[in-house]
Structure 1
Amino acid sequence: MRQIAAKVVVVGAGMGGLASAIRLARAGCEVTLVEARDAPGGRMRTIPSIAGPVDAGPTVLTLRSVFDDLFETCGQKLDHHLKLIPQPLLARHWWTDGSTLDLTTDLAENVDAVSRFAGKREAEGFRRFHALSARLYDAFDAPMMRASRPDQKAIAIAALKDPKTWPALLPGVTLDRLLAAHFRDRRLRQLFGRYATYVGGSPYRSPGVLALIWAAEAQGVWAVEGGMHRLAHALARLAEDQGVALRYGQPVARILRQGGRATGVQLADGRSLHADHVVFNGDPAALLAGLLGDGPRTAVAETSVHPRSLSAWVWSYAARATGQPLVHHNVFFADDPRREFGPIAAGQMPEDATLYICAEDRSAGQMPDGPERFEIIMNGPPGRPERPEDFALCRSRTFDRLRQFGLTFDPVPGQTALTPPSGFATLFPGSQGSIYGLSPHGALASLKRPLARTTLPGLWLAGGGAHPGAGVPMAALSGQHAAEAILTALASR
């Protein structure tokens, strides 16, 4: 029911900005959403190709209930706006010794696959790891991910009630160390260790609790017909249906401050939009750096945005692929993960990289005729200035490496298909190229992310850089948290 009248300006049409705008407008607020680029999506962006727009950001939808709830809040159904394609095969994993492993959403199938891949002892280790991951997810879902602020007391109580989660929560237990207690096979440690990169970390420095990411993925994965960017466009249409005024191509120069609170924004063309509340759906580090003016520079703490998480070199292009039976999600592993994460920690391109390939047109299990769309991601360090030799080096370490697996592309993409860390730094001001915000390294990193409420009254945060963190559903939840906090503040007044 529309009851609360207030003017709100949302800066940025990413998942967090769109989710907050929809919920606020539904509640009766007068919402204007301004976006610097000419389309919604934020990191959910595309690059043109001969086969159509290629996703150059997120490639998959997990925890779809977050978006089902968002549409249902507006009296609509997600399935009426998008065709979501469930992916029973989560990913196909490849190693240079010729071994492969498919993992699905079915526990029994996975146990059997791991047994054939590495033996019965490892299959039992996987069963124990799966159970631990599910327990961790259950313990952290409500008090951490779904809560507007981490409820440390509730987390502690949940952990105390379930001693089987303790091995993952002990100080100093990294994800890699936790995996070593479950798997002797280095390939399986490598496979499940890669989940640290989902939030921009190294398995050697990220806490063991990140094992819960496997449980989140095992609940179900969906592809969006036509590409993930269509989810952003569906949310933009939903926002307009709720009365949100969407203004594209209008970058914000600064956030206005008067009387000790945020009072609106000034656009790059000099015009001002005044508001009772401002939601910033950008990297919170941009506020600290003064990129939105001096007014919000102290709105977030230094420790909530630094140190930075990983960046990446991302290829987005269309080509013909031959040599290997790719599925929608594919991971080609490095021979030595230390030669991947060691150089990254030193600010360098990995010497031996794990390569993730999304074959975007294979989500329905069919082999396309002609060129198809691909996205390849190679992890990299944030804050790395681009060098003249980087393109040739990245191209070699990507496509020469894939040829060692027997996979080739025709044509091999050119420089316009590559977004390097410096490109992400330009696209997302203040990020230093980091894709996931605050680094997840350290036992308490997840508790340090900035909340929706900043120290500047009237200024709120939404997006992957804020609590509860990176990822498509997490960013949307941050928008929900921001909207609920604003509506609570309005109701109290």
Structure 2
Amino acid sequence: MALSPSMNEVQVIIVGAGIGGLTAAVDCAGRGLDVLVLERAAAPGGKIATAMVGGKSVDAGPTVLTLLEVFDELFESAGLRREDFVTAVPLDELACHYWPGGSSLSLHSDIEKSAAAIRAFAGAQEERGFRAFCEASGAIYQALRDTFMFHDRPANPLSLMLRGGVSGLSGFTRLDPYRPLAAMVGEHFRDPRLRQLFGRYSTYSGSSPFVAPATLALIAEVERRGVWRIEGGMAAVASGLEQAARALGVRFAYDCEVARVETRAGHVQGVTLAGGERIEAEQVVLNADAAALADGLFGDAPARRTRAFDAGDRSFSAFTVALDARLKGVAPAHHTVFFSADSRAEFDALAAGRMPKEPTVYACFQDRVEGAPPPTGPERALLVLNAPADGDRHAYSAEEIDRCTNNALLTMARAGLSIEMAAPPSISTPSDFARRFPATGGALYGRASHGWMASFRRPGARTAIPGLYLAGGSVHPGAGVPMAALSGRAAVRALVLDRASTSTFRKAATPGGISTPSARTGATA
């Protein structure tokens, strides 16, 4: 696209219009900064995506939204109301879970309803275990909410211990970082189905419950505190953030690929586009996977000062099937999980770089609205299977794609749900995700949360290059839509502090202000 001359010099460039970048744009503009967002795709969203199946738009990326307060606080800080841009409907039924043979269990936002359901499902002892698990996961969440999740990345465990809310060794030990999540879950539940259910929360960060720390039990607490369905689908979150940013004066350039982050004397100077045009900026927020920076995809200078990590440390990728189909059998919820018969075999296969023969399938049935009758005809759904992040080394053949799809349908059929396709599905493999997100191999969550030190190895907002900041699911505080939003706010906190500590920056412009054009002319990118 052709850039206007007024875009040739700005205060803040945000590279990437994913959730982290969009959040940073709203936050920056709300503070009066002149912001330009550059996105190589044709629309905002990043990993939030849609697929057209049978003439219908199907959410084909993240489908679960938690921690709505993150977005409420973002809009409020910018003088806006989230409700004017994004409509969210709370769900009572968080998810329904099925096992081979048809046994099922629904969890609810009301802990008493979940406890009663577990008692009916597996007995009084398992109900007591559930209550103890909720107490433990709730304590982890309370300890880490303000000191870790909503805070800048701690440098090491000691700095975390010294923050308010987690003081001393006893507080850190309460976080249960030294044993796997599967072991912690096994302490509370004897029923193998419940061990499988509560262990799967590690997959929210693309990790195995047999290796990820028990600290990730906090994800269960996050979900219990609320899951929201977004009117218009998850793409409405991205479009709502974009509309809010535009209302604050942010400018957007789509189909606009950044080739290099430019530096001078070790400080960021702006970016150069794939078409050759250079845009000067005082600060740059990179909303891309941190692996792309380390791999040199934004230039040699940033790569030399960025720590890379091995492919073996990647989080899971995914195999997804977006479909329009008629359902027969059991009645799924909006969010439904169909478990495999053997959790250990499933994660062993993933660790060995193979797709499981019998996968667990997460499904979002997007036309299933709580409290409303189910659709009478074909309905939209997204099926998601964990997959190895080997998309840069392995291209999935048509035979493999068919096999993975059929294995997913078989898992669902064992639980009592059959699917009759009304249109050819839209399928994405790790190879497809590797192309969309270069340098990742298709990993969707950055570094896997394996081992007690994993969270401290995840990049923070600041890079080794002054003026260059990171945002997105691969950086602190981690993966997921609200976490990516928190990363965007962390990047803005860092750049605002840096602006205050140096006199080299121009004074902040008013929202919507136009910076002085440089001598360069617009180019197509």
Q: What is the TM-score of this pair, normalised by structure 1? A: 0.95
Q: 1:397 aligns with which of 395, 407, 411?
A: 407
Aligned counterpart, 1:283: 289
User: Which deviates more from structure 2 when the two are superposed, residues 19-28 or residues 340-349?
Assistant: 19-28
Aligned counterpart, 1:226: 232
User: Which deviates more from structure 2 when the two are superposed, residues 64-73 or residues 158-167?
Assistant: 158-167
Aligned counterpart, 2:416: 406
Distance in 1 (CA, whole Å) between partners of 2:419 and 2:304 is 48
Note the 1:321-336 alignment, pairs <5 A.
321-336=327-342
Q: Does 1:475 align with 2:484?
A: yes
Aligned counterpart, 2:388: 381
Aligned counterpart, 1:489: 498
Aligned counterpart, 2:352: 346
Aligned counterpart, 1:463: 472
2:358 partner amino acid = D
Aligned counterpart, 2:431: 422
Q: Does 1:237 align with 2:243?
A: yes
Note the 1:178-257 alignment, pairs <5 A.
178-257=184-263
Change beyond 3 A, Cα 1:338–1:412: farther
Determine if contact 1:306/1:439 at 8 Å carries over to the other structure. no
Aligned counterpart, 1:268: 274
Q: 1:156 aligns with which of 155, 161, 177?
A: 161
User: Which deviates more from structure 2 when the two are superposed, residues 82-91 or residues 291-300?
Assistant: 291-300
Q: Does 1:73 align with 2:66?
A: no
Secondary structure, in 3 states, of the residue corresponding to 2:119? helix
2:387 partner amino acid = G
Aligned counterpart, 2:375: 368
Note the 1:47-196 alignment, pairs <5 A.
47-50=51-54, 52-150=56-154, 152-153=157-158, 155-156=160-161, 158-159=165-166, 166=173, 169=176, 171=178, 173-196=179-202
Determine if contact 1:314/1:418 at 8 Å carries over to the other structure. yes
Change beyond 3 A, Cα 1:313–1:413: farther
2:421 partner amino acid = P
- The CA deviation at 1:94 is 0.3
Q: 2:322 aligns with which of 316, 329, 339?
A: 316
Residue segments in structure 1 that go unaligned for 5+ positions in a row? none
Distance in 2 (CA, whole Å) between partners of 1:297 and 1:318 is 43
Q: 1:264-283 CA distances to partner (integer Å, 9 max, x unpaired)?
A: 11111111111111110000
Secondary structure, in 3 states, of the residue corresponding to 1:62? coil
- The CA deviation at 1:156 is 2.6
User: Which deviates more from structure 2 when the two are superposed, residues 118-127 or residues 248-257?
Assistant: 248-257
Aligned counterpart, 2:451: 442
1:259 partner amino acid = A
- The CA deviation at 1:83 is 2.0
Distance in 1 (CA, whole Å) between partners of 2:468 and 2:172 is 37
Determine if contact 1:304/1:449 at 8 Å carries over to the other structure. no
- The CA deviation at 1:161 is 7.4
**Aligned sequence identity (%):** 41
Distance in 1 (CA, whole Å) between partners of 2:177 and 2:370 is 42
- The CA deviation at 1:263 is 1.1
Q: 1:112-149 CA distances to partner (integer Å, 9 max, x unpaired)?
A: 11111111111101100000000000001111111112
Determine if contact 1:306/1:438 at 8 Å carries over to the other structure. no
Change beyond 3 A, Cα 1:413–1:180: farther
Distance in 1 (CA, whole Å) between partners of 2:423 and 2:338 is 18
Q: Does 1:454 align with 2:460?
A: no
Q: Does 1:431 align with 2:436?
A: no
- The CA deviation at 1:365 is 3.6
Distance in 2 (CA, whole Å) between partners of 1:344 and 1:413 is 30
Distance in 2 (CA, whole Å) between partners of 1:89 and 1:170 is 30
- The CA deviation at 1:6 is 6.2
Residue segments in structure 2 that go unaligned for 5+ positions in a row? 1-8, 503-525
Would you say how many aligned residue pairs link Structure 1 and Structure 2?
Answer: 487
- The CA deviation at 1:260 is 1.3
- The CA deviation at 1:386 is 1.8
Q: 1:449-484 CA distances to partner (integer Å, 9 max, x unpaired)?
A: 111110011111011111111010110011001111
Distance in 2 (CA, whole Å) between partners of 1:87 and 1:259 is 52
Determine if contact 2:366/2:380 at 8 Å carries over to the other structure. yes
Determine if contact 1:312/1:379 at 8 Å carries over to the other structure. yes
- The CA deviation at 1:51 is 5.4
Secondary structure, in 3 states, of the residue corresponding to 2:284? strand
Distance in 2 (CA, whole Å) between partners of 1:438 and 1:153 is 22
Determine if contact 2:270/2:284 at 8 Å carries over to the other structure. yes
2:97 partner amino acid = H
Determine if contact 1:399/1:408 at 8 Å carries over to the other structure. yes
Q: Does 1:356 align with 2:362?
A: yes
Determine if contact 1:305/1:438 at 8 Å carries over to the other structure. no
Distance in 2 (CA, whole Å) between partners of 1:361 and 1:47 is 15
- The CA deviation at 1:294 is 0.7
Change beyond 3 A, Cα 1:167–1:483: closer
Change beyond 3 A, Cα 1:199–1:170: closer
Secondary structure, in 3 states, of the residue corresponding to 1:410? strand
Distance in 2 (CA, whole Å) between partners of 1:435 and 1:49 is 23
1:191 partner amino acid = L
- The CA deviation at 1:7 is 1.0
Distance in 2 (CA, whole Å) between partners of 1:338 and 1:52 is 37
- The CA deviation at 1:101 is 0.5
Determine if contact 2:324/2:422 at 8 Å carries over to the other structure. no
- The CA deviation at 1:424 is 0.5
Distance in 2 (CA, whole Å) between partners of 1:46 and 1:465 is 21
Determine if contact 1:118/1:185 at 8 Å carries over to the other structure. yes
1:102 partner amino acid = S
Distance in 2 (CA, whole Å) between partners of 1:404 and 1:227 is 29
